Amino acid sequence: MLGTIINTATILAGSAFGALLRTGIGEKYKKVLFDGLGLCCLVLGMNASLPNMSKSEYPVLFILSLAIGGLIGTKLNLSGRIDRLNAGIRKSPLPANHSPLPAPPLGECCKAAEKEHGRGNENEALPQRGSGEGAVGSGQGPVQGLVTGCLLYCIGTFSIVGPVLSALSPTAGWAWNEQANTFLYTNATLDFVSSAVLAASFGWVMMLAAPVLFCWQGFFYAVGYFCSGGMPEPMRVELSIVGGVLILSSGLGILGIRDCKTVNLLPSLLVPVVFYLVKALF
């Protein structure tokens, strides 16, 4: 478990560093961080999915996983719940003497917009991506940032196979074993940088990703510790494919290209697990 603890600590340290640094970053630099983060998500998502596609025993399983998981997430309205939570976090109390002005009629707003922009390209009148806190993509708030961080930290070979190899090591436990924990130490280094960038973009809320990672890696550590065979390789492959697609989806949202409601797709990660558990029983 030492590798997992170190990995968790690096996320806490990186998030704290990034959140402290965030107070001195101007809006134009925050936009650069968001754009860089979005591009990184695209690359990491493709890197997690594409190399594993040829290894999949059931090439259509990831499609079924995303379809079933998306339906479940939409039924539970996970994205809507997250949006409401984001709104609650962003909402600031109004001054006591504040009296909101009535909004002008919709028609007057449209006429004013037409006078300002003309009737050229319709896209010119569309609201552009904001520059305020969390104003990235379509509703990318602090909680969406937390979801993106959890996906980045938890999905991948290092974070899934690393705890299993650590548990299967002859010196498993609290001993410092560089060979058994190589994946986790490498993952910790990468996560330190990622968490600093994420916290510089989304703030202190990113520290909540640390306990999520601890529970995630702790689960796979327990699988490796109590099951001599560890985690089935086909299950890891399918999780990597589905997880990579979700990371890619987060990147599209951060860049403001397309809001794919990534939160609604999170149940997709459970489908490969359930599939292989049922397969093992029968």
Arithmetic mean of pLDDT over the chain: 77
The Cα 170–Cα 174 span in angstroms is 12
pTM for this predicted structure: 0.68
Per-residue CA distances from 58 to 39, 51, 234 (Å): 29, 15, 9
| 109-164 tens-digit pLDDT | 444 444 444 444 444 333 343 333 333 444 467 888 888 888 889 887 678 778 87
Beta bridge partners of 136: 140
Are the beta carbons of 147 and 251 closer than 8 angstroms?
A: no
pLDDT, mean of residues 78-97: 65
pLDDT in tens, 180-231: 677 788 888 888 988 988 898 888 989 999 999 999 998 888 877 777 666 7
Has residue 82 got a pLDDT over 60?
Answer: yes
pLDDT of residue 97: 42
Q: Report the amino acid identity of residue 253.
A: G
- Measured distance between the N- and C-terminal CA atoms of the chain, rounded to whole angstroms: 33
Helices 61-75/270-281 angle, 10° precision: 120
